[in-house]
């Protein structure tokens, strides 16, 4: 008796379908793995929220008026400025710290806000002087951070 040997393998149609599916995935999905477009904004948004909450917490703990609890926002920096007067600014020697952030130029991200003068303070109850404040992180997409008039800081 002759044993039947059944050939096993993929048909030509199955191989062509798999190649077409891999081609579609390579064109549409692969570029997202090799670029950081849109992701930098989320990192900065999280970092800004953390820094704002730290400045707010310090304002609630340090009720002595000698401490500055002002936040200054420029296109590429956010944090406690060098001077706490009516015209706050960052000096050339200003360095980011636990309460300060500098946007890396290669990330193509900028900051903006609806705050008059791009500066506000927190009072001893953690409330911002700007009422309801919105800080925008602008890049590949625009993300927003809202500081409610009661002091709650969150992402929109």
Confirm whether 16 is domain-assigned. Answer: no
Predicted local confidence at residue 16, as pLDDT: 93
In residues, how long is the chain? 156
Tell me: the pLDDT tens digits for 65-119? 667 778 888 888 887 777 776 666 666 666 667 777 888 877 788 888 888 877 8
On the question of pLDDT at 19 being above 80, the answer is yes
Structure tokens at 74: 């420029």
Confirm whether 71 is domain-assigned. Answer: yes
Predicted local confidence at residue 96, as pLDDT: 65
Confirm whether 122 is domain-assigned. Answer: yes
Confirm whether 147 is domain-assigned. Answer: yes
On the question of pLDDT at 33 being above 70, the answer is no
Predicted local confidence at residue 34, as pLDDT: 60
Domain limits for position 124:
39-155
- List, in sequence order, every beta strand (DSSP E) within 8-118: 70-73, 77-79, 100-102, 110-113
Do 140 and 41 contact (CB within 8 A), yes or no?
yes
Burial of 21 (0-12, 13-18, 19+ CB in 10 A): exposed
Residue 53 belongs to a domain with what CATH number? 3.55.40.10
Provide DSSP, 135-146. EEEESSSEEEEE
Tell me: the pLDDT tens digits for 125-151? 888 888 888 888 888 888 888 988 888
Confirm whether 31 is domain-assigned. Answer: no
Predicted local confidence at residue 86, as pLDDT: 66
Confirm whether 124 is domain-assigned. Answer: yes
Predicted local confidence at residue 101, as pLDDT: 81
SS3 assignment, position 72: strand
Q: How far is 144 from 26, CA to CA, in rounded Å?
A: 32
Place of tokens 């806000």: 113
Confirm whether 21 is domain-assigned. Answer: no
Number of domains in the chain: 1
Strand order in the sheet with 110-113: 110-113, 133-138, 142-147, 153-155
Confirm whether 93 is domain-assigned. Answer: yes
SS3 assignment, position 38: coil
């Amino acid at each position: 008796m002759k044993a039947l040997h059944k050939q096993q393998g993929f048909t030509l149609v199955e191989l062509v379908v798999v190649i077409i599916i891999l081609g579609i995935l390579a064109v549409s999905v692969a570029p997202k793995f090799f670029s950081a477009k849109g992701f930098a904004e989320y990192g900065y948004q999280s970092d800004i929220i953390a820094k704002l909450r730290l400045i707010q917490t310090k304002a609630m703990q340090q009720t002595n008026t000698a401490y500055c609890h002002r936040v200054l926002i420029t296109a590429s920096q956010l944090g406690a400025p060098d001077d706490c007067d009516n015209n706050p600014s960052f000096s050339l020697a200003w360095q980011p710290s636990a309460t300060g952030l500098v946007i890396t130029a290669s990330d193509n991200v900028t900051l903006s806000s609806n705050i008059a003068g791009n500066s506000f303070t927190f009072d001893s109850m953690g409330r911002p002087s700007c009422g309801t404040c919105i800080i925008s992180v602008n890049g590949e997409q625009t993300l927003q951070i809202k500081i409610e008039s009661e002091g709650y800081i969150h992402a929109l």
